[in-house]
Chain A
Amino acid sequence: MTTKLTMHNDDDDVTRGLRALYAAPVGEPYWNELEARIMARIAEVDLGWWAELDRWARPALLAAAVLVLAAGIAMFRARQVETQTAYEHILTPSPVPIETVIRPTLEGDREASLRDVVGHRDRSNGRP
């Protein structure tokens, strides 16, 4: 019997044709042999030190991350202490104001200079 080609049904001609074209090999021997070939290739895989590296990669990364974090915290704290000290140094008033401190050896010179300046001003203003 000859019929028109059908599609879209589970069991239509095209789907049947596609199934025939893409049919997987049948028979256990074929699959057993393919499995053997796959496992032979896997047996050849020399994971070696790469596998060890991969095995240790995660713990190593974790340890590195913890170290970086600890170093970061330590640096932050050190900086914080430094900043705090600098602020305290600026904000805490010195026991003796700097501008009033005069070296004792210069005290006489200061008096002389002061007298000279005052005397000069008086003379300029016409005072005796």
Chain B
Amino acid sequence: MALLRLRRPFAIGVTASLVCLQIAVAASLPTTASKLGGGTAAVSSCDADGFTFHHTIDSTGTITAVTVTSIAAACAGGTLRLTLANGTTSVGSGTTSLPSSGFSGSATVTVSPTPSSSSVTAVYAVVEGP
């Protein structure tokens, strides 16, 4: 009985500690992207200070490509996905791979379809990985 009296608080304590640990881990995990909000994997950013976007426009006034600059070296090896939007509607998008070695910090994404420059109200860029 004395032994049981010693083991019971110990077991309860271990259980409580594990539950608390789970809660703490779940609370501390970053969820950068909303689509991963339900997950519990650790997701971090490879670039903290944002990108700069330069558009290439052809003679008809449509955007054919977007050059993204100021990409941090930590993003090398990742995949850059870019979407041009008019409000909440995608009007053009493209993807390119950022080289693992010799990455210059910039990348050009060819856009398809090619929207009129006057129709674009926002640019969304996502780097997945590395």
A and B part of one assembly: no
